[in-house]
């Protein structure tokens, strides 16, 4: 199966990850994308927040969560009382997957083969940052950690043990909705936002 493994440094630090990521050819998503987008934030963060994949803005700028979903995420973290200086933010898949319609690039969710191929990068980031807790944003992040039957609605808002075998497991993991899902919830946007903040408050308490 396709895998990023051959490109991931053996003893990962954030600097080594940053240097190695642009060369990754672990799956076919590198080809149409502008660039790989790694994580950003505190190297010694207590909390790692994991999204799906870079979006259109992130693909162009090379940084995670710099578009509308990122703006909403920043606000939700602040409303939950989480200090941004204690957070490292990244994505399960490091290249933007999209289809083209005219001049527009339309987001397409990564497939399970892309999620599996890219997971060694997230494991390397976990080994480098060693956060106490991990927040999984939405279905793709949840599937990466819990498998393809994961459903956000069944698991959100509760602290759980890290389910994967790992020498660098965080103390807890918490799933919640993705900020893009909040943006898509037109009529119910406020309720969806409040739900996200309520879940993040559980993480904030675990960090206190
Ligand atoms: N959505 C994500 O999941 N990640 C980003 O970086 C931006 C939007
Ligand atoms: Fe490598 Fe992940 Fe990009 Fe695929 S999506 S090429 S595995 S960095």
**What pLDDT does residue 166 have?**
85
Q: What domains sit in the chain, N to C, each tagged with a CATH number?
A: 5-207 (3.40.470.10)
pLDDT, one tens digit per residue, over 75-94 is 999 999 999 999 999 999 99
With the most atoms of ligand 1 within 8 angstroms of its CB, the residue from 29, 51, 122 to mutate is 51
Is 29 near ligand 2, meaning CB less than 6 Å away?
yes
Is 4 near ligand 2, meaning CB less than 6 Å away?
yes
Q: Are strands 172-176 and 133-137 parallel, antiparallel or unpaired?
A: parallel
Is 27 near ligand 2, meaning CB less than 6 Å away?
yes
Reference 49, options 158, 175, 184, 196; nearest CA is: 175
Q: Which two tokens stand for residue 166?
A: 């790992």
Is 33 near ligand 2, meaning CB less than 6 Å away?
no
Query: What Å distances lie between residue 91 and 51, 52, 72, 120, CA to CA?
Result: 4, 5, 16, 12
DSSP state of 149: T
- Residue 116 Cα, ligand 2 centroid: separation in angstroms? 10
pLDDT, one tens digit per residue, over 97-156 is 999 999 999 999 999 999 999 999 999 999 999 999 999 999 999 999 999 999 999 999
Residue with tokens 């279905």: 139
Q: Angle at CA 59, nearest 5°, toward 117 and 66?
A: 115
Q: What is the pTM of this model?
A: 0.97
**What pLDDT does residue 121 have?**
98
Backbone angles phi, psi at 91, to 5 degrees: -130, 155
What distance in Å separates the CA atoms of residue 146 and residue 51, rounded to the nearest whole number? 14
Could you report how far apart the first and last alpha carbons of the chain are, in Å? 41
Give the position, in ligand 2's atom list, of the atom nearest the Cα of 110: 5
Q: Which alpha helices (H) appear in 7-146, and where do they start and end?
A: 14-20, 56-61, 68-79, 112-129, 138-146
Assign 1 a pLDDT band (cuts: 50, 70, 90). Answer: confident
Reference 138, options 153, 128, 124, 149; nearest CA is: 153
Is the predicted pLDDT of residue 39 greater than 90, yes or no?
yes
**What pLDDT does residue 167 have?**
83
Total residue length of the chain: 208
Reference 158, options 100, 191, 202, 119; nearest CA is: 202
């Amino acid at each position: 199966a396709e895998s990023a493994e051959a490109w991931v440094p053996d003893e990962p630090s954030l600097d080594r990850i940053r240097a190695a990521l642009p060369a990754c050819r672990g799956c076919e998503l590198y080809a149409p994308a502008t660039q790989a987008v790694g994580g950003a934030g505190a190297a010694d963060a207590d909390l790692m927040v994991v999204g799906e994949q870079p979006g259109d803005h992130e693909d162009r700028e090379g940084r995670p969560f710099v578009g509308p979903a990122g703006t909403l995420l920043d606000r939700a973290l602040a409303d939950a009382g989480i200090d941004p200086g204690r957070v490292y933010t990244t994505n399960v898949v490091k290249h933007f997957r999209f289809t083209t319609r005219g001049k527009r690039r339309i987001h397409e969710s990564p497939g399970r083969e892309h999620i599996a191929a890219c997971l060694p990068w997230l494991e390397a980031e976990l080994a480098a940052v060693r956060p106490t807790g991990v927040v999984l944003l939405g279905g793709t992040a949840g599937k990466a950690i819990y498998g393809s039957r994961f459903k956000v609605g069944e698991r959100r808002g509760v602290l759980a043990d890290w389910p994967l075998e790992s020498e660098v497991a965080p103390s807890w993991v918490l799933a919640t909705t993705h900020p893009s899902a909040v943006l898509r919830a037109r009529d119910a946007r406020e309720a969806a936002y409040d739900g996200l903040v309520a879940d993040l408050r559980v993480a904030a308490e675990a960090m206190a």
